[in-house]
Chains A and B, each alone.
Chain A
């Protein structure tokens, strides 16, 4: 499996503060990858580094085999929807299409026009007068009509209401279905990612906590509920990610390489949200193991 983003020991420092430190990760090609993590985990920094808006302080990052932002050819291959979906407030929707058409050799004018029409946007409308959802849609249309090999979206739906969020993700899903492009999408909301992503990277404090195809993650994690017992007594091949106790009951979230049979406990499927939260709690815990767990396909 080839990687569209390959980061090794990547770090970015502002003054004395490291926004991202010693981050090593790999984003697979041909997938819709969700990058999830708490605020301040370094998601936005990582994505800005991957489009060349930022330059790394330490380490290296390769995107589609090249250095991000290295030249027009590299810029052309990567589409980017920045956080808060910035657009030119004084320019109309049509002006934006003309602007992007002039700057992108691969511009698909038909696709852009079609999207704007289907969104019901008036081309003469000033972008500053658009709603947050419409602005995000415009930003997505600009990035998509560039026909990139890799589309990167930095918290595109963070400031949208649930309906606008749904519509945006719908459009993103259509794009991924139509085009053979890889997509990376960051969010601090797992429910957003669950809808569109088939691959997940959980990032906390610059570290990858868990990564893998969503299906595989769900198939290898279990929630065990049963009488209180020392988690250390679990059979080999089962790793506790989180444990919570309520009276005599203990609930364990475990990763297991093979199906779990435990007569003393109730085993159930874990939701993606619980899974991510378990890993984030583990990362945040004072004594939590700071190791990268990789699941193999």
Chain B
């Protein structure tokens, strides 16, 4: 059965390996000059001079100056979303539909092996292959982008830091979990629908939905978020009348963290009456500036700190793997009832 699984799968395997090789070569060729810029920037030793923020910004501006690096960096993220999607559509969906459409299920399932075992071997081996190949993709792409990620962690991002929702699922170990999930999803929709092309369409639709649901509704709550307070920066402050006072809000950022929400507070008193006349913000006149400063306006920031990157990666990967396992069980149930 192991041999048969490999024999039926080898075309897809070679395509995946060729894709991995092409990306490895592209990234390996372009990385030396990126690391050259990184070492020239002196970020590595910035802690000693405590000017990490400035050096990171300078490094990122150099990176941006050569248009190829931001594009490669973004492309790497896109690839990490595409790899599980392609695995789900082209490895998972045809796994069972191909047998059903060609009628070979009647050949395969009348050999001296139960169909449960047939499915277990196929799903197990191919899920491992999907996870291994996606792991390699992620390893190479994450490795290539590590200088940029480090600068982003110091407050100078290209697309955001690695906690940013878009980047979070595009680096690290989370794509491995999604590869297993997408594969199991493809196989299960194939078993339920029975035809390859509709199964592919349903797979990509559900996978896309999961990629939207996870960062918006699940990931923020995997670990109870941390709270901190930050001073409202005068240049970015906003206020709206609220009862007798002013609700003062503004943006906040925590270096390397994923800010989930910021909420302002209502302030009352004479200074707020002065501020109500400052239509162009607290910096428009010295009087406005003084009034704003006297309030010491604070924001409450809800966020996931940078230090939670790996715990969050581990939790989300575990969730994806658990969903994959549940789908595999559903697939097995359907296969036993397929008649």
A residues contacting B by CB (< 8 A) are 48, 51-55, 69, 71-72, 75-76, 78-80, 82-84, 86-91, 95, 98-100, 102-106, 139, 142, 146
Known: A69-B115, A104-B112. 13 other contacts (CB 8 A): A48-B106, A52-B109, A53-B105, A53-B110, A69-B110, A72-B117, A75-B112, A80-B110, A86-B103, A86-B106, A99-B4, A100-B111, A105-B112
CA distance A33 to B117 in the complex (A): 32
Verify if B107 is at the interface (C-beta below 8 Å from A): yes
The answer to whether B7 and A80 touch across the interface, beta carbons within 8 angstroms, is: no
When chains A and B are docked, how far (Å) is the Cα of A71 from the Cα of B113? Answer: 7
Q: A102-B1, A102-B3, A103-B4 are in contact. Are A87 and B104 (CB under 8 A)?
A: yes
* 8 cross-chain CB contacts under 8 A: A53-B106, A55-B337, A55-B339, A75-B113, A83-B106, A102-B2, A105-B112, A146-B111
Q: Which residues of B contact A52 (CB under 8 A)?
A: 109-110
A226 to B12, CA, bound (A): 72
Contact A84 B103 (CB under 8 A): yes
Asked whether B102 lies within 8 Å of A72 as measured between CB atoms, the reply is no
Residues of A near B105 (CB, < 8 A) are 53
Check B102–A54 contact: CB distance below 8 A.
Answer: no
CA distance A75 to B2 in the complex (A): 19
**A177 to nearest B CB, angstroms?**
24
> Which residues of chain B are near A99, meaning CB under 8 Å?
3-4, 7
A-contacting residues, B81-140, CB 8 Å? 102-107, 109-115, 117
Contact A78 B110 (CB under 8 A): yes
Where chain A touches its partner, the secondary structure class is loop
Closest 3 CB pairs of A and B: A86-B103, A103-B111, A82-B106
Q: Bound complex: CA of A205 vs CA of B42, how far in Å? A: 86
Q: Which residue of B lies closest to A55 (CB)?
A: B339
> Is the Cβ of B112 less than 8 Å from the Cβ of A72?
yes
- B339 contact from A54, A75, A83, A84, Cβ within 8 A: A54
Q: How far is the CA of A54 from the CA of B114 in the complex (A)?
A: 13
B50 at interface by CB-CB < 8 Å: no
Q: Is the CB of A76 within 8 A of B110?
A: no
- Is residue B33 contacting chain A, with contact meaning CB distance below 8 A? no
Contacts of A95 in B (CB 8 A): 7
B26 at the interface (CB under 8 A from A): no
A277 CA / B287 CA spacing, docked (Å) = 110
A80-B106, A82-B106, A88-B102 known; A104 vs B7 contact (CB < 8 Å): no
Q: In the assembled complex, which residues on chain B have CB atoms less than 8 Å from the CB atom of A86?
A: 102-104, 106-107
Q: Report whether A88 and B109 are in contact in the complex, using a CB–CB cutoff of 8 Å.
A: no
B114 adjacent to A71 (CB under 8 Å): yes
Contacts of B111 in A (CB 8 A): 75, 100, 103-104, 146
CA distance A230 to B107 in the complex (A): 53
Interface residues of B in 203-259 (CB under 8 A from A): none
Listed residue (B4, B103, B107, B117) with the most chain A CB atoms within 10 angstroms of its CB: B107
List of A residues within 8 angstroms of B280 by Cβ: none
- Which B residues form the contact surface with A (CB < 8 A)? 1-4, 7-8, 102-107, 109-115, 117, 337, 339
CB distance from A92 to the nearest CB of B (A): 10
Residues on B with beta carbons closer than 8 Å to the beta carbon of A104: 111-112
Question: Which A residues lie within 8 Å of B110 (CB)?
Answer: 51-53, 69, 75, 78-80, 82
Chain A residue at minimum C-beta to C-beta distance from B118: A103
Beyond A54-B339, A55-B337, is A103–B102 a contact (Cβ under 8 Å)?
A: no
How far is A52 from B111 in the complex, measured between Cα atoms in Å? 11
User: In the complex, what distance in Å separates the CA atom of A278 from the CA atom of B339?
Assistant: 34
Known interface pairs A103-B111, A104-B112, A106-B112. Does A88 touch B3 (Cβ–Cβ under 8 Å)?
no
Residue of B107, B110, B339 with most partner-chain A CB within 10 A: B110
What chain A residues lie within 8 Å of B2 (beta carbons)? 102
Whether the Cβ atoms of A72 and B114 lie closer than 8 Å is yes
- The reply to whether B7 and A103 form a contact with Cβ atoms under 8 Å apart is no
A75 contacts B337, C-beta separation under 8 Å: no
Shortest Cβ gap from B88 to chain A (Å): 22
B248 CB, nearest partner CB in chain A, Å: 66
Name the B residues within 8 Å of A80 (CB-CB): 106, 110
Nearest to B339 among chain A residues (CB) is A54
- CB-nearest residue of chain B relative to A99? B4
Most-contacted residue by chain A among B113, B115, B337 (CB, 10 A):
B113
Chain B residues in 8 Å Cβ range of A82:
103, 106-107, 110
When distances are taken between beta carbons in the complex, the residues of chain B under 8 Å from A103 are: 1, 4, 111-113
Whole-angstrom distance between the alpha carbons of A53 and B8 in the complex?
A: 22
Contacts of B112 on A, CB cut-off 8 Å? 72, 75-76, 103-106, 146
Chain A residues near B4: list those with CB within 8 A.
99, 102-103
Contact residues in B for A91 (Cβ distance below 8 Å): 7-8
Contacting residues, chain B, for A146 (C-beta < 8 A): 111-112
User: Bound complex: CA of A106 vs CA of B113, how far in Å?
Assistant: 12
Take A71-B114, A72-B113 as given contacts and tell me if A89 and B107 are in contact as well, using a CB distance cutoff of 8 Å: no
Residue with the highest number of chain B CB atoms closer than 10 Å, among A98, A99, A100? A99
B94–chain A nearest beta-carbon distance, Å: 12
Instruction: Please state if B7 and A142 are interface contacts (CB–CB under 8 Å).
Output: no
Q: Which residues of A contact B3 (CB under 8 A)?
A: 98-99, 102
B158 to chain A, nearest CB (A): 44
Complex: A262 Cα to B112 Cα, angstroms: 56
Q: Which residues of A contact B7 (CB under 8 A)?
A: 91, 95, 99
